[in-house]
Amino acid sequence: MSTISSSNGEQSTSEAQLRSDRRVDHIEGDSSVVWEDDVGEAGEQQATPEWDTENEEFRMSESTRRLRMRLLPNLYTGGIYGIVRSIDADDADDDDDDDNNDNDDDYYYDDYDVEDEDEVFLDQSWRRRLPPSHSNDQDRFPKVPSEKGAELMDSGNFGLNAAEAITSIEKSNRGKKKKIAMRIFDRELAIDSPARQKISQKLMKQELIPSSVADMIIQFENPVYSGQFSDDGNFFFAVNKDFKVRMYDTSNPYHWRYYKTVSYPSGRWTLTDASLSPDNKYLAYTSIHSNVCLAPTDPNDIGDPYILDLAHQRDGNSARGRLNFGIWSIRYSGDGRNLVAGATGGLIVVYDIECRRQIHQIHGHYEDVNAVCLADRSSPHILYSGSDDTTLKVWDTRSMGDNRAAGTFIGHIEGLTYIDSKGDGRYILSNGKDQSTKLWDVRMAMSPQQYEQVVGNRRPTRGYFDYRFGKYDDKFWYKDPRDSSLVTYRGHRVLKTLIRCHFSPPGSTNSRYIYSGSQDGKVYIWNLDATIAGVIDVHKSTSDDHISSLRNHLDSEAFIRVNEGLEWSTCVRDASWHPTAPIIVASAWDGFSVSGTCTLYRWNDDVKEDETEPCEGIRLDERLNEISNFKT
């Protein structure tokens, strides 16, 4: 077997280079590193995995399988079960940026038989170790602009087109996009009929896309994992790694007021998600734990949050035996009576808040469920789930007992990080570690019978690209032949953490845009046809000339790294578009992933001089006190 020795902790230059390009398995106990790509032995012919064109994956040759089976008994005590446990513990930590490894084995375990896991480990470890045969074919990438996306823009389901609001002044300039300023001019002069004026006013609201000039930067001492406006725009919450959620009154979206801060007791690594009740009275928030905290949003209520144990079943026992699961995603149902959670190990839980017990607990996926959402607030029964097993599934809570999804989407070739619903029960959005955002129509989902024919008894294959540490190589990207998505959006970086994507708000933009955070410190905004509508550079806003001024606002670890001369970085994990105002708030990890910001951007029609109040670029602490020693 080809090995590379690393005794005494030393590595050769060639080993370091290979390590950056390939996935490795570290085998404890003998100070050796076994490369998955090197499958030959001295005196034996090297075996190479073969590409299975039908299933779009590599299959292992019999000689390779026998070779690896001979090697397994030589591994450290615990054999393959130990490997599987370590892999599960690592996968359960998928949302962490680098170093969450405290007592993972005490917290997670896999429900599948060890014998089944053995075969899965062997087969999946060979998945896409070499690029597909068409890796040099540039035509495999989705076309931009997308024809289907253009059809959707013209369909009327996503707002109006400029061609529908041609006034008398515009007739000489047909085909040219009308400036917002000219539309305002037309409105003030009452040009054309009232019906045309009304259409033009709707178009104005629809075309107001926030710019890259930051109006307000709220600085936190810990990374921000999520930040969202309420559906009515009167409330904003920021979810932080320090197990606290800060709440703000945004009834005037340009003048925020600090509301309150609530904490999660005995959290694990970070807070992972939060969801506001439909009436804005309660906030549910989670950590990598089965407990959900329920805190009143009333600033005068300073009591401790309610603790809901989502592992509590109808019979009073704890789900999954002696161990709890960790929650990655939490959502209120449309009627506010239930909570829906996506968790480790492929688990989906529906929980009755009033009765404080599970309604459903199913293993709906083969890997962690990173995101759940409701299809439509008016219907509490239909929900969606997105998983590391690369699938997006549709569920009806009235028939979840048999663990069969009402529909399934296949198309992503790496795990899903987030999903969002347009809110009409029809269109769904997903973000994937394959560096793609996809738009789906629920009517095109595979039926349970179709899905079983495609997958059978096999688990859906998944890649082993570790999005937390590396860059994605586009030579591994291909279009799955079973991909039924309407449009694919690319250009952003879904790296380092579970980055989120959203539809733009229906009230002001008619959900006409798709937007996503990105590891490169930007918010990408696409038209439905996959063309870029705008890019907000959060990194520039939070890094220009401000590092030296952070001394009184960041912890010592950040400044040690600053003094070492490391480059300032920004990772936008989430973004939220105000439901009525042309405002986007980007929630990010800043500096060196030890601090965070919520940065507000608004539409300004590319105005260069600041005539606004408050002035652009104002910097505030988490309680909205101005930070006076920031350079502007």
Q: Which of 37-51, 444-458, 518-532 has the highest mean pLDDT?
A: 518-532
What is the spatial distance between Cα 593 and Cα 221, in angstroms, rounded to a whole number?
10
Pick the closest to residue 371 from 294, 286, 309 (CA basis).
286
| Judgement on whether residues 201 and 219 belong to the same structural domain of the protein | no
Does 479 reside within a domain? yes
pLDDT reported for residue 36:
33
Q: What is the mean pLDDT of residues 309-326?
A: 67
What is the spatial distance between Cα 38 and Cα 44, in angstroms, rounded to a whole number?
12
Boundaries of domain holding 3: 1-38
3-state helix, strand, coil in the chain (%, to 5): 20, 30, 45
Q: What is the mean pLDDT of residues 418-441?
A: 97
- Dihedral pair phi/psi, residue 548, rounded to 5°: -70, -20
| Judgement on whether residues 498 and 601 belong to the same structural domain of the protein | yes
| Judgement on whether residues 188 and 212 belong to the same structural domain of the protein | no
Strands in 436-441's sheet, in edge-to-edge order, are 416-421, 427-432, 436-441, 487-490
Q: Is the pLDDT of residue 622 over 80?
A: yes
Q: What is the mean pLDDT of residues 13-17?
A: 40
What is the spatial distance between Cα 315 and Cα 228, in angstroms, rounded to a whole number?
36
Lowest-confidence region among 78-82, 129-133, 466-470 = 78-82
| Judgement on whether residues 382 and 233 belong to the same structural domain of the protein | yes
Q: Is the pLDDT of residue 55 over 70?
A: no
- Dihedral pair phi/psi, residue 517, rounded to 5°: -70, 175
| Judgement on whether residues 180 and 254 belong to the same structural domain of the protein | no
pLDDT reported for residue 632:
38
Residues paired with residue 438 on neighbouring β-strands, in sequence order: 430, 488
pLDDT in tens, 338-387: 999 999 999 999 999 999 999 999 999 999 999 999 999 887 899 999 99
Q: Above pLDDT 90, what percent of the chain? A: 51
Q: Is the peptide bond before 210 cis (omega within 30 degrees of 0)?
A: no
pLDDT reported for residue 420:
98
Residue 185 vs residue 88, higher pLDDT:
185
pLDDT reported for residue 78:
37
Does 117 reside within a domain? no
pLDDT reported for residue 93:
46
Q: Is the pLDDT of residue 448 over 90?
A: yes
Strand locations in 411-483 (E)? 416-421, 427-432, 436-441
pLDDT reported for residue 455:
81
What is the spatial distance between Cα 263 and Cα 105, in angstroms, rounded to a whole number?
26
| Judgement on whether residues 389 and 268 belong to the same structural domain of the protein | yes
Q: What is the mean pLDDT of residues 47-51?
A: 47
Cα 244 off chain centre by: 20
Q: Which of 65-79, 117-131, 552-566 has the highest mean pLDDT?
A: 552-566
* 14 token code pair: 């060639």
pLDDT reported for residue 443:
97
Q: What is the mean pLDDT of residues 289-300?
A: 96
Residue 561 vs residue 30, higher pLDDT:
561
Lowest-confidence region among 105-114, 233-242, 571-580 = 105-114
The total number of structural domains that make up the chain:
3
pLDDT reported for residue 559:
53
Does 600 reside within a domain? yes
| Judgement on whether residues 279 and 196 belong to the same structural domain of the protein | no
Lowest-confidence region among 275-279, 424-428, 587-591, 616-620 = 616-620
- Dihedral pair phi/psi, residue 493, rounded to 5°: -120, 115
For residues 49 and 58, the answer to whether their CB atoms sit within 8 Å is yes
pLDDT reported for residue 212:
86
| Judgement on whether residues 224 and 366 belong to the same structural domain of the protein | yes
Residue 312 vs residue 289, higher pLDDT:
289
Q: What is the pTM of this model?
A: 0.76
pLDDT reported for residue 64:
52
What is the spatial distance between Cα 510 and Cα 158, in angstroms, rounded to a whole number?
5
Pick the closest to residue 421 from 343, 487, 360, 505 (CA basis).
505
Q: Above pLDDT 70, what percent of the chain? A: 63
pLDDT band for position 292 (cuts 50, 70, 90): very high
pLDDT band for position 184 (cuts 50, 70, 90): low
* 360 token code pair: 């459903």
Cα 249 off chain centre by: 26
For residues 333 and 315, the answer to whether their CB atoms sit within 8 Å is no
Q: Indicate the SS3 state at residue 387.
A: strand
Lowest-confidence region among 22-31, 550-559, 610-619 = 22-31
pLDDT reported for residue 383:
97
Does 108 reside within a domain? no
Does 344 reside within a domain? yes
pLDDT in tens, 373-414: 999 988 789 999 999 999 999 999 999 988 899 999 999 999
pLDDT in tens, 498-530: 999 999 999 889 999 999 999 999 999 999 999
Lowest-confidence region among 39-48, 452-461, 529-538 = 39-48
Mean pLDDT (the chain, rounded): 76
| Judgement on whether residues 213 and 241 belong to the same structural domain of the protein | yes
What is the spatial distance between Cα 622 and Cα 614, in angstroms, rounded to a whole number?
17
CATH of the domain at 392: 2.130.10.10
- 372's CB contacts (< 8 A; 6+ apart) are 329, 330, 331, 340, 341, 342, 348, 383, 384, 385, 386, 419
Strands in 357-363's sheet, in edge-to-edge order, are 327-332, 338-343, 347-352, 357-363
| Judgement on whether residues 293 and 324 belong to the same structural domain of the protein | yes
Only one residue has tokens 């293993």, namely: 363
Between the alpha carbon of residue 288 and those of residues 53, 111, 343, the distances in Å are: 38, 18, 8
Residue 517 vs residue 59, higher pLDDT:
517
pLDDT band for position 179 (cuts 50, 70, 90): low
Does 553 reside within a domain? yes
| Judgement on whether residues 561 and 600 belong to the same structural domain of the protein | yes
pLDDT in tens, 106-148: 333 333 332 333 333 323 333 443 455 566 677 789 999 999 9
Q: What is the radius of gyration, based on Cα positions, of the chain? A: 25
| Judgement on whether residues 330 and 223 belong to the same structural domain of the protein | yes
What is the spatial distance between Cα 212 and Cα 604, in angstroms, rounded to a whole number?
9
Q: Is the pLDDT of residue 539 over 50?
A: yes
pLDDT reported for residue 58:
46
Q: Is the pLDDT of residue 172 over 70?
A: no
Strand 214-220 with 618-620, pairing: parallel
Q: Roughly how many angstroms between the first and final C-alpha of the chain, as a whole number?
A: 60
Q: Is the pLDDT of residue 254 over 50?
A: yes
- Alpha helix ranges (H) inside 208-316: none
pLDDT reported for residue 3:
39
Does 52 reside within a domain? no
What is the spatial distance between Cα 111 and Cα 361, in angstroms, rounded to a whole number?
14
Does 95 reside within a domain? no
